[in-house]
A and B are shown apart, each in its own frame.
Chain A
Amino acid sequence: MRWGLQQALEAFIERVVFGAEIQVTDPSAVDELLRSLQVSENECQELRLQLPRAVVYRQLVQSTLREAIELALPRLVQRMGGVFDEYLQKFLREAGPRTHYLRDVTAEFLDFSEPLWDADRRVPRWARDLARHEALRIEVAACRHSSFPEVPEELNLAAPVRFTESSRLMHYQYAVHELSAELSDRTEPEARPTDLLVYRSADHDVRYLELSPLAASILGNLLSYQHSLGHALSLAYAEHGVEFNEQQMHSTALLLADLAERGALLGPMHERSQ
């Protein structure tokens, strides 16, 4: 059954822009493309004439998408070099962007590519950590927030704790947050398990706070929103063999007060605010 022209145009563009590169001087490749469109001979001839112009679109589209991803992952793209471009081509061919929002193409690219990196010796072991760390900057900056409370409330051991929606607890195997911002830098990150709290301040800055293992456990329990403050602390202390005593509580209180001052921690969670 013949396709309508619009259906054929969409298939034609999809194949030219996202498929394997077509050489317009290769008659068999061009014929195969046109046969797949199921349109009349006249339309085939018309599209054959347009193919050199359609190939221009391939470069325009791929350039736009590459720029968007490079804006989000500048150091990763520089460090991976040609390997990044290979994965970009693979992503475009096998998946392609689905999102209406250009800023979200990076997440789609990473969801597709990261699982493939483990088996690829050309991809550094720290690439996943660096990708996630760099992608966070836009994600956290753009996260939708509820408003900050004017007067912080006292925390309650019996209640969970509320954080801003942009707060993220990140666990890295490599200290990628210590890498230079210089794009030309090629220093390898230290292989050191690292926990970071990433959040957006009240004045819209994305901030990073390196945590001790105990602090990371406490915040991990709290950010799951599955535990009251008291239960979250008990679990974390037990995990790290720390005694639940007044001194430890004081130290934890200082941590939580610091997070409140930074604007990451909002206060106790009430039933109505869940």
Chain B
Amino acid sequence: MSSLILIEHHDGRISPACARVVAAARKLGAPIEALVAGYRVEEVAAQAARLDGVSRVLVADDARYADQLAEPLATLLAAHAKRYGYLLAAASTFGKDVLPRAAALAGVGQISEVIEVVDPATFKRPIHAGALVATVRSDAPLKVLSIRATAFESVGEQAPAPIETVEAQGEALGARFVESHREASERPELTAARVVVSGGRGLGSKQNFSLLEGVAGKLDAAIGASRAAVDAGYVSNELQVGQTGKIVAPDLYIAVGISGAMQHLAGMQGAKVIVAINRDEEAPIFQVADYGLVGDLFELLPELERKL
């Protein structure tokens, strides 16, 4: 029984998480196919066909998928599910929106946020904001898995796999896309960046938060934030790292003015090297940091920027 991966894409480009989901699928040992659903997605399909390990790409190209609404996508996915042993997507907000809906239509459960494939029926996943890890076995004939992308290394490229068109199906059921707001940023994307510089409530204001820009610029880093910083309006929500924000696993994570609450750690503990800058030497962030600087961030940040 093969695996089918739902491909996530924006503006004609596949999401970098897809190459990591393919890596997870390869551990299942079954042939891998990819489903691209969207409107005018020829280029996306071509990119999916080059993911190393994908043996076939199915394309449903139709205006009804233009806004990537969960309703028609889940119907399409569930209609194809019967022929597969696995259905996979990244545990991004897109995957989280569509995949459980498809699983329910197919009459099976879902295993969320898989971080390890133990064997073809057994998976590890974090629970309680990552404080615990559960090993779960599924007997379902169709296993639906959302993949925590940062737990897998991206696959490389291959000679393009064949691409086949499939019939569009599924209705919006009364859902209609109205508008979207994306913050334009020159910084690298948070979940893909090699270096992430995150700020917390300790930054004190929206204006101060921009102090991070200097250091981030020197390191070609993405900027992240704690929930407290987002709630206080220093930055917008898509920069939140943590249990309910994004999961990041960069080579270097620098936490500035962040105390290190469990829910924040849940999103960044996978980083290779963690640096914490905090004036409170008792802050829990120092328990997970490889290197710490205890002191006033308003002195340490400018000095760091200057010396980098």
Chains A and B belong together in one complex: no
A interface vs B, CB < 8 Å?
A: none
B interface vs A, CB < 8 Å?
A: none
